Structure 1
Amino acid sequence: MRLIGAGVPVDHPAQHRRRPERGGLTLRPYFATTARILRQLANDHRSVAMILIVPGAVITLMYFMFQDAPGPPGGLSPFNNACLILLGLLPLVVMFLITSISMQRERVSGTLERILTTPLRRIDLLGGYGTAFSLAAAAQATVACLVAFWALGLSTAGSPGWVFLIAIINATLGVGLGLLCSAFARTEFQAVQFMPLVIVPQLLLCGIIVPRDTMPGWLQWVSDLLPATYALEALQEVARHPALTATAIRDMVIVVGFAAVAMALAAATLRRRTA
């Protein structure tokens, strides 16, 4: 902006322009954003119940369903197999729903746009959202694993700690996908509608219903592009082998990579207007 005063030109930068974002996280705004989102989650009792109570309740229901079901000789019991699937994929589903709905609520209410007009940088904002929801995901995985291993007797050849870690990684993937998909919705209902598009194909093609090696070749190729495939394979590796295998490590790295890409793409949508 160029002002003319008393015949002397004065250069004055427009105040509404934001400085270019540089560097990494700024701790104070990052922690402030994280704390705000955690307070909002804590005050939303339905979300708290969905995060902490629903997974354990579903696993318990599954236990009674398979309590007297015969298992294959030398293989995992029906409950162990079903419980592992739930521990790995239920956090993905629940955190996708919670994150996409919560983020869309921020957009519709105008909170997100007001925040983006402040000096708070996008990396601090996204880091705060991601950390808050990931902490919620860790709490969910903790409760679910406690119920499964110590209350219901789930057993795996590998350490329960690896199952716990994979559950957190999958929940973090759900957070990233939820943040990303919320950018393309106009209402909370539309955010939920992304679940059949983003989550259901992964559940169908990851090998839960039909073994992947019996699918047509093109479906196997599509399955190879979906993160839930590697999440389930990592859990199966932990269930069958006492030590962590190279396949399990590779699969966890791939899922973390998918989560990181989803977070990065979500960052690019934070300037999107709700109008």
Structure 2
Amino acid sequence: MHVTGGGVSVHHPPQHRAPSGVGLHGQLKPYTATTARILRQLAADHRSIAMILLVPVLVITLMYFMFENAPHRPGTPTPFNNACLIILGLFPLFIMFIITSITMQRERASGTLERILTTPLRRLDLLLGYGTAFSIAAAAQAVVATVVSFWFLGFTTAGSPVWVLVIAIVNAVLGVGLGLLCSAFARTEFQAVQFIPLVMVPQLLLAGIIVPRAVLPTWLEWVSNAMPASYALEALQQVSAHPELTYIAVRDIVVVLAFAIASLCLAAATLRRRTP
């Protein structure tokens, strides 16, 4: 700009543009990329797919033929109904715990996890990506197992099958969260497997499958009350016995979800940036 009496250069302040990728899409991109990568890996692993989708169905079908001719009192649930309820409730939790913990440890052992953690990707984004990918697989597992149980094997509940499906998915998500948490403390795949008797077996024993929780010794009942699998099974038992969703079932679903979220947060906090 020229002013009479002398040349004066006027500098306009530069127009600052927002860096690309700082919006919501940019913030979600690392998370969605991680989720997509894990889903592609799962889709390419045919054994894992078979274990996730087919094993629960095969076990439930086996239980159906085992209890086909088992006697029961009129007006009471069939033995198959009781067994199927347990399988639908706790098997997704068990299977997803195994697959998640081993797969996460395999990522660490191969160096993939360490390379990812050298990038600006936040640990929480990474764990949420893993959690979402495995939760999608868990939802597929729950849908297949529930459809086969209700529409092909004659499984019945007083409540809606939709709630059985929702609870099965929530239980599977819990298995994902616990698997990610335990994998943070394992250095090999074998050590990840060793967490099964430490973390999962006590929950299965104290959830009320073998002995009702109400008749356990007081100290064991307190231990059972601190384990999420107890609430997972109780929620399904409520749906099985009542046509409407009860307060206890809602409370149990919230408790299981809280355990799953807490597991993911603890896994993010304990995730190591370097593999020992």
Global fold match (TM > 0.5): yes
Specify the structure having the higher radius of gyration (Cα): 2
Q: Partner amino acid for 1:187?
A: T
Distance 1:25 1:184 in 2: 31
Uncovered stretches (5+) of structure 2, i.e. residues with no partner:
1-23
> Could you give the per-residue CA deviations for residues 168-196 of structure 1, whole angstroms, max 9, x where no partner exists?
00000000000000011111111011000
Task: Give the 5 Å matches for 1:121-270.
Answer: 121-270=122-271
> Could you give the per-residue CA deviations for residues 20-69 of structure 1, whole angstroms, max 9, x where no partner exists?
xxx99921111110000001111111100000000000000000000011
| 2:115 equivalent in structure 1 | 114
Distance 1:245 1:228 in 2: 18
Tell me the SS of whatever aligns to 1:199.
helix
Q: Partner amino acid for 2:197?
A: P
Moved over 4 A (4+): none
Distance 1:89 1:252 in 2: 14
Distance 2:96 2:73 in 1: 33
| 1:82 equivalent in structure 2 | 83
Distance 1:70 1:241 in 2: 24
Distance 2:260 2:166 in 1: 14
Q: Partner amino acid for 2:127?
A: L
Q: How many residue pairs align between the two structures?
A: 253
Residues 1:25 and 1:94: Cα distance change in structure 2 (over 3 Å) = farther
Distance 2:187 2:120 in 1: 25
TM-score relative to the length of structure 1: 0.90
Distance 1:190 1:219 in 2: 27
Q: Partner amino acid for 1:153?
A: G
Residues 1:111 and 1:223: Cα distance change in structure 2 (over 3 Å) = same
Displacement of 1:272? 4.5
TM-score relative to the length of structure 2: 0.89
Kept in 1: contact 2:178–2:263 (CA 8 A): yes
Q: Partner amino acid for 1:268?
A: A
Residues 1:252 and 1:25: Cα distance change in structure 2 (over 3 Å) = farther
Displacement of 1:222? 0.5
Q: Partner amino acid for 1:58?
A: V
Kept in 1: contact 2:184–2:272 (CA 8 A): no
